[in-house]
Structure 1
């Protein structure tokens, strides 16, 4: 008898297949259980290793032994005429079918949890484009060369480059890489194929601008990255007017679409034909403001608003400039101040733009952010972001705006899909990868978060925002409080998040002297933001309280309580004030007041799925300080059981919970959710 037939007769194949299928199902169940009990990653690796080692053992046993009515015997001891291998084989067939059915159930009902499909949170970043992406109708427009030493000419070339990308972004059948990703190739010595591979496109546009008096000369060529063939080229000589600039850009956009056999819909044709302004100087000021918008610093936002105001003085009918003004004002309101007048000014700008061009997609982005940043009304914001992403299918800004709204609404699959689409369109911007890492970190997908963060750092290791995310990943994934402190302090200039994290990091390390210095260094403008409303006496009082200096802490906390209760009388629905009073009254030992303020903080908290765990955590700190360990622990369990939020480590480190650590309920919580690494 041949070896193959003998393997078949002894059911070795069936045992191998059955073991493989059963092992896969077992690993899915184990993975699901371990994820829900927050077990460390090494536990799953041990199970995988055990299953892998068991496979050859099972095959060897199937070869050497046979299951008989009398029990397991060595195959050599079984009379072939009395062998029951055929009956055993039929039983194995039924077992295999059963496990296959279970496998199908797992694949059908749990794709998102198990990481299947393109929008899985476990999908990791690719450093270069895949081959199918290379064959898309895809294009990157490199920064235009300019033949002049005049700084104004350089800015002029940048403005034309940005406008052309804006036009191409409107063509849904193309994939167009965003400006921020292509700017690194200005004056590059890299070859076209290398650039195309890094950007994930099949074609590249190169161009040059030359101004001479009142004339402009512009040349452009579309190049196949694989063959280096020129698919299209043209030179334009025109009078230098705003109308001619937009006409050139519209012609180039159509020529590229035609060369790549991309179809333009009637609505896309109309968008491409639309000129932003007929005033050249207004266009220049607008382009300066566009560049300043991306910097996202208080001083650049202010200069950007001045520039866009100048553009609107020159051309009050410049609808896109009204949209840009609204975005800049909303950036200022969300990131740096809470002045309602700033938000109202943004709404006025949106209304002015709508009166001029009601269907302008950029106004949809602005209005989406008005409801998002202005009111945290995500239900109202989403339709505007979706409409903008549909009208500007190649705008990373539109897709990222949609992603941020979905994230606040708790649509994690949609969030990751939109974040990844934005990253595909802007692949060389590290902060886009960092945003994905931040989302995965809060969803407890720590290993994937680290991979995306590594990708982000490889593109831009000095982006200040990424330091905040690196700090959070260090803390939540492994409880590395030292790196949490280190990354929090790398932020080059104070901002609300980094300032709070610095203070918390000092508390987590029991470094109370540094924590006191952190409070003294806290910029006045960041004591009151959209998320927190604290006072210096409050922060000093809590720091002294956590350090054990009760006599010093008490008068400071009483002072803070009086000031914030006065403000709360004017703004009873203010979440940050209620949150602070929850902690202050807890620190003062005022049990009933703390319980009331902590309840009110949860009742007035924004309906924000991404931060829901944070709200529970900070309410729990106040309740724990007040001595209500049961209510505090109930909130902490609810946070840990949630889909998104903090891990166990902030609970382990935060000194507010020191008073409840000996309680049986806390010990039980630590046993269930705490780290199991030796």
Structure 2
């Protein structure tokens, strides 16, 4: 059954919404909402009915449904004013009012296989779970599909979405040390089966949460949003290996197929068994596989074992474990120089050290790049290798190449949740928050138990202004995992951007430091928060804390420069930035700002011309990546009488800054707009933008003390707005004192302020 209305076509079987024949990106729960309203278009649907249909017994805020209605209208070209598609009956509910044409025979099915008379959504989508970059578990409380009891009564199994979870295999060997081998067999099978394009496969991170579980199959299928489950076990004995598996229809609780494979222990036999299992799964689920001449990843048993041990080490989620993984991967490559996936994974480990350990990006990129080149030369169809290539491209600031590599990774393996989530991160960076959220929800559907992914989704929701939804997700994570430091860091952003509550943002960051004192980003954020409320000395202490835990970080010198800046030793800070921008061009803004403070602006502009010559071109292009540098450069060129180029830079920056944004990013939006307008000489428009900044609830001494606003200091309206901010900041300072008196901001061993005496 397909529903057509206006220029749209909604296909429940393939979970697609098209506009004039083109597929639209849509969040799963928004799709469900539209489908539910269409199915009941002949009547008004109450909010309670929608709550029950979408979220079952889960408790969600009213704003969550309101946001879903808003998003549904947006994707259908509708809005709350016109309501030509979805009509609101205030105090009662909603109704789908656009004229609908129903095509009863789906093109994918012949006449003998028409749908029975049940809700298409409930008969097809058996539990698509809450999807929520980048990091997050939010989705467990949040958008998720629930299994309808009607599903078990379906006679037409073809209407059920092809979906599978491969649960962790049981180690049936006598040796406990064989656990790593059993897990490795499971991982390889999961990788192989995930390449079946017509099949939705739950990712490794999520299925591993069910190791040694006592939950029944039906409950697991509901939680993961799948209709079938594969269980199995592995036993090594002497020179033989035995792998037994069984495929279960989780909805109807019946076995579909089972097999035991006993072979001589060899790499060839292991991968042959995995191929046979994949083909049997496809046959049972009535999926036609295209013929492929797929190569075995390695011919060496010892190399395969080393790779399995590397995976086990990564699962420890510690720096020590990551280093062990590097050692095992290097060994695997030494044992088999043609082991493509080992090269790709080793490259990924090197790149992750940039973020996790603060190692210099240039060094890590130089290590990773040749490994990725080899991996793709050995296996041009490796989805994982393309995902790592995308990661490399992002670190190289070659963003379009990264986007294309992520898309290729997804094309090769549509179940690559990591690539889908990372592509969402790309769109977030590009400013397309809605697409970013949609992709993260899609990734969450494939990886519903990954709390890092859930955290990333909450961050995206926060950036899009959907604060209540982000809070739901973070609250769920913290309730289940009270020691999960990542969620506290994102929660601090929610307090800061959503509630404008600096004190509680700081308190939450303190808790994150206690849980994970070696995570290098947290002290930098705390330094900014204390600068916001005017406590420079404490801000400096947190920067020094960063230097204590990451003395060799790529940001270490920049942090020293920032300390000198707070101490008003601007020339020392300038000298450091002048050197560091060669390696980190994104610090050009700070260099130019310090050039203004020290009277060394010509020196700063000369360095800017060397590093970013495109800013001096006649056809200069300004985007979100160079906007801040273009602004401050334009302001200084204007003061030097170079008005033509200055105007191009300032007008281009203004256009980027005025791009509509939502949520937390509004603080950046209105602040930048006001400052650029002042540089252009439009005080009236600048004051209006600054007024919006204050009305949204933002307050910061860093903004009050910014010399960019000096030309407004005599303006009465500006003075009133600054007075409002100062009152709020005094309240934040009082709240901090109360937290301190209650022992909420106690930390062991903060470093002494060693640089303050320099």
Structures share fold, TM-score greater than 0.5:
yes
Asked if 1:281 corresponds to 2:302, the answer is: yes
Q: Which runs of 5+ in 1 are unaligned?
A: 1-40, 49-98, 108-115, 544-552, 624-630
* Displacement of 1:458: 5.1
Task: Select the residue among 142, 166, 186 that pairs with 1:125.
Answer: 142
Go from structure 1 to structure 2 and tell me whether the alpha carbon gap of 1:504 and 1:281 turns closer, same or farther (over 3 Å shift): same
Aligned residues: 548
Quote the Cα distance in structure 2 between the aligned partners of 1:333 and 1:191: 41
1:578 aligns with 2:601: no
Q: Call closer, same or farther: CA 1:485–1:603 in 2, change over 3 Å.
A: farther
Aligned-residue offset at 1:309: 0.6
Q: Confirm or deny that 1:369 pairs with 2:391.
A: yes
Q: Which structure carries more helix by proportion?
A: 1
Are residues 1:400 and 2:421 paired?
yes
Larger radius of gyration: 1
Tell me if the contact between 1:330 and 1:342 (Cα under 8 Å) persists in the aligned partners: yes
Which residue pairs with 2:563 in the alignment? 540
Instruction: Indicate how the Cα distance of structure 1 residues 289 and 475 shifts in structure 2: closer, same or farther if over 3 A, else same.
Output: same
Identify the residue that residue 66 of structure 1 maps to in structure 2. Answer: none
Q: Does the alignment pair 1:309 with 2:330? A: yes
Q: How does 1:483-522 map to 2 (within 5 A)?
A: 483-489=504-510, 490-491=512-513, 492-522=516-546
SS at match of 2:84: helix
Bigger relative CO (Cα 8 Å, ≥ 6 apart): 2
Paired position in structure 1 for 2:377: 355
| 1:561 and 2:582 matched | no
* Cα separation, 2, equivalents of 1:469 and 1:218: 43
Q: After TM superposition, give the deviation of residue 232 of structure 1 in Å.
A: 0.6
Structure 2: distance between partners of 1:523 and 1:155 = 37
> Structure 2 matches for 1:452-491, cutoff 5 A?
452-457=473-478, 460-489=481-510, 490-491=512-513
From 444, 447, 452, the equivalent of 2:465 is: 444
Shift in CA distance, 394/669, structure 1 to aligned 2, threshold 3 Å: farther
Is the Cα–Cα contact under 8 Å of residues 565 and 573 in structure 2 kept in the other structure? no
**Displacement, 1:140?**
0.9
What is aligned with 2:270?
A: 245
In the TM superposition, what are the counterparts of 1:72-471 in structure 2 within 5 Å? 102-104=82-84, 125-127=142-144, 129-131=146-148, 135-148=160-173, 150-266=175-291, 269-270=292-293, 273-293=294-314, 298-335=319-356, 336-373=358-395, 375-457=396-478, 460-471=481-492
Paired with 1:614 and 1:488, the residues of 2 have a C-alpha distance of 27
In structure 2, C-alpha distance between the alignment counterparts of 1:610 and 1:468, rounded to whole Å: 24
Rate the CA distance shift 1:441–1:664 in 2: closer, same or farther, 3 A: farther
* 1:53 corresponds to: none
1:3-51 CA-partner distances (Å, limit 9, x unpaired): xxxxxxxxxxxxxxxxxxxxxxxxxxxxxxxxxxxxxx99x99xx9xxx
Q: Partner residue of 1:657?
A: 704
Contact 2:558–2:580 (8 Å) recurs in 1:
no
Aligned-partner Cα distance in 1 for 2:245–2:273: 11
Q: Is contact 2:530-2:536 (8 Å) kept? A: yes
Instruction: Write the deviation string for residues 262-299 of structure 1: whole angstroms up to 9, x where unpaired.
Output: 22223xx44xx431111112112112323444666544
After TM superposition, give the deviation of residue 197 of structure 1 in Å: 0.6
TM-score by length of 2: 0.63
Query: Pairwise CA RMSD of aligned residues?
Result: 4.6
3-state SS in 2 of match to 1:345: helix
**Shift of residue 636 of structure 1?**
9.6
Change beyond 3 A, Cα 1:340–1:165: same
Write the distance in 2 (CA, Å) between the matches of 1:100 and 1:518: 46
Alignment partner, residue 661 of structure 2: 643
Is 194-203 or 633-642 further displaced after alignment? 633-642
Deviation at 1:632, TM superposition (A): 12
Q: 1:635 to 1:464 in 2, by over 3 A?
A: farther
| Structure 1 residue 651, shift from structure 2 partner | 5.8
Give unpaired runs (5+ residues) of structure 2. 1-61, 70-78, 88-97, 99-127, 133-137, 153-159, 616-620, 638-648, 668-692, 732-758
State the SS of the aligned residue for 1:275.
Answer: coil
Provide the rounded CA distance (Å) in 2 between the counterparts of 1:665 and 1:300. Answer: 59
Q: Tell me, in whole angstroms, the C-alpha distance in 1 between the residues paired with 2:131 and 2:363.
A: 41
**Aligned equivalents of 1:175, 1:675: Cα separation in 2:** 54
User: Displacement of 1:342 after TM fit?
Assistant: 2.2
Contact 1:127 1:455 in 2 (8 A): no
Q: Which residue of 2 aligns with 1:69?
A: none
Q: Which residue of 1 aligns with 2:718?
A: 667
2: CA distance, partners of 1:240 / 1:368 = 36
Question: Do the aligned residues in 1 keep the contact of 2:131 with 2:444 (CA within 8 Å)?
Answer: no
Q: Residue 341 of structure 2 contacts residue 375 of structure 2 at CA under 8 Å; is this kept in 1?
A: yes
CA distance in 1 between counterparts of 2:443 and 2:131 reads: 16
What CA deviation, in whole Å up to 9, does each residue of 1:375-422 have, x standing for no partner?
Answer: 121111122211110111112122123222233333334322221111
Check 1:634–1:364 CA distance in 2 against 1; reply closer, same or farther (3 A cut): closer
Task: Give 1:179 deviation, angstroms.
Answer: 1.2
Which shifted more, 434-443 or 180-189?
434-443
**Aligned-partner Cα distance in 1 for 2:316–2:501:** 31
Shift of 1:454: 3.4
Kindly state the Cα deviation for residue 510 of structure 1 after the two structures are TM-superposed: 3.4
Q: Mean alpha-carbon deviation: is it higher for 432-441 or for 158-167?
A: 432-441
Given that 1:293 and 1:300 are in contact with CA atoms closer than 8 Å, whether structure 2 keeps it comes out as yes
How do residues 20-99 of structure 1 correspond to structure 2 at under 5 angstroms? none
Which stretch shifts more, 327-336 or 595-604?
595-604
Q: Do the aligned residues in 1 keep the contact of 2:571 with 2:598 (CA within 8 Å)?
A: no
Residue 225 of structure 1, CA deviation: 1.2
The answer to whether the 8 Å contact 2:434/2:464 transfers is: no
The answer on whether the counterparts of 2:578 and 2:604 sit within 8 Å (CA) in structure 1 is no
Q: What is the TM-score of this pair, normalised by structure 1?
A: 0.70
CA distance in 1, matches of 2:716, 2:194: 56
Distance 1:376 1:291, change over 3 A: farther
1:353 Cα deviation after fit: 1.9
Give, in whole Å, the separation in 2 of the partners of 1:499 and 1:608.
Answer: 31
Name the CA shift for 1:359/1:120 in 2 (closer, same or farther; >3 Å).
closer
Structure 1 residue 622, shift from structure 2 partner: 13
